[in-house]
Amino acid sequence: MPTPAAKNSEAIPTTLASPGALRFWLAVCLIGVTTGLAAAALTRLLELVQHIAWRGSGTNILAAARGASASRHIAILLAAAILTGLGQVILKQLSSGNGIDTTAAIWFYAGRMPALRTLGSAVLSIFAVAMGASMGREGAPKQAGAVFANIFSDTGKLSDEQRQLLVACGAGAGMGAAYSVPLGGALFALEVMRGKLALRFVLPALLASLIATGVSWVALPNAPTYLIASFPLSASVIVWAIATAPVFAFASILYVRLVRWADKGKPRGWQRFIAPGVVLGLLGAVSVRYPELLGNGKDLSQLLFTAQVGLPLLLPLLLLKPLATILCMRSGVPGGLFTPSLTFGALLGAAVGYAWSAMWPGVPLGFFALLGAGAVLSATTQGPISAVVLMLELTGRDRSFVLPLILIAALSALISRSVEPRSIYDARLSDEQIASRQAMREQESDQIGVPQSLSIGEKPPS
């Protein structure tokens, strides 16, 4: 069981005059620059692979898949399965032992992760998502940011506490750069990855995410991910947010537990070749009828936010889209969970909104989808503040929906957290690790951080 070791003497520098401040802040800046470049490169790689595979524009997999033949759907997904199987075997050879999840690394290994295996998994996930696997693309830049944080922590000979924070900042910077959400990326780093919104943590997270996002704008557009209308506030939507928050909370609890089930049952040995073939082959076949199942769900969410998905299509997608993500994860396909979770929330929000509109009409259906996305993000990540800010930045809107969004995000997170201690990013943690992490959080204060290091007698994979 991982336990914290002796306290490292160098804490987070709060001023430029603090001991070791120059090395620390230089590392923060370098993490931002390299993570921004990596996010831009990985995004362009995804667009290139997607263009080659689907013969589309490279940015809208749904439009390209709708025009592709049935044989192409199945062939591309089977090719993705072969690539996934081979990639997993190769990645296994890049380090001794198993890979380390970013969350586990931050809490139990002082942020240390195997660099080659982590970067290899990031690139493999880009190919899988571009070819249609129902996983998120943000996992790759998050992993890249965490690896660069490790590299610069080693170079600067930073303490374990500093490394732990910088790895969280690197992951958040990857999120910020991938989706052009600098503030949301910083809050994601602190609230979700590091698990603490402490004052001494804020500036490093903000600086890393701002630099990474700014650098990524050299190659990526500085524009909202989702284009939506300005939704009018009404009594109906406020009441809806309060009344349906438990629905999104318990749906999120089920989703998180399915993610844990999928993660615990990932294939081993020769099954690494068979499982992706079965799941992705089946996904390819079903996607002929439902091309919305392909990719991370960004294009589907855009349609939901603009009320372009009718009830006959919405209901099967509400079941099939999260099922596709869970089964892809179970089969060992690497990738993120952020956008798939957002899309699940948008589908659920739209479905519940249809029922609500029959009783109390007047609210645009896209509004329900947007609030549902925010509610599920808040509950599945257990980060209500970052979820609200991310939804604001992803849409480029400020006040048109912030009140009901805060309301439903807070209530959903509170209910979900009361029943399920895990988030989608805690899936790999055992019950003992969850309890240990909670104990560490309770020991921390805003002035003194709890140092993290390796488990007693353990070394991370090289």
pLDDT bucket at 306, cuts 50 / 70 / 90 = very high
Mean pLDDT of 176-204: 91
The answer, yes or no, to whether residue 113 has pLDDT greater than 90, is: no
The answer, yes or no, to whether residue 27 has pLDDT greater than 70, is: yes
Please tell me the distance from the alpha carbon of residue 215 to that of residue 152, in angstroms, as a whole number: 18
Mean pLDDT of 105-128: 90
Confidence (pLDDT) at 449: 43
Confidence (pLDDT) at 432: 81
Domain range annotation of the chain: 21-224+431-443, 235-426
Please tell me the distance from the alpha carbon of residue 125 to that of residue 104, in angstroms, as a whole number: 19
CATH of domain 235-426: 1.10.3080.10
| Digit-coded pLDDT (tens) for 394-453 | 998 877 789 999 999 999 999 999 999 899 998 878 778 788 877 776 676 444 444 433
Confidence (pLDDT) at 94: 67
Q: pTM for the whole thing? A: 0.89
pLDDT bucket at 311, cuts 50 / 70 / 90 = very high
| Digit-coded pLDDT (tens) for 62-109 | 999 998 999 999 999 999 999 998 988 888 776 654 557 888 888 888
Please tell me if the domain spanning 21-224+431-443 has the same topology as the one spanning 235-426: yes
Confidence (pLDDT) at 101: 82
The answer, yes or no, to whether residue 8 has pLDDT greater than 60, is: no
CATH of domain 21-224+431-443: 1.10.3080.10
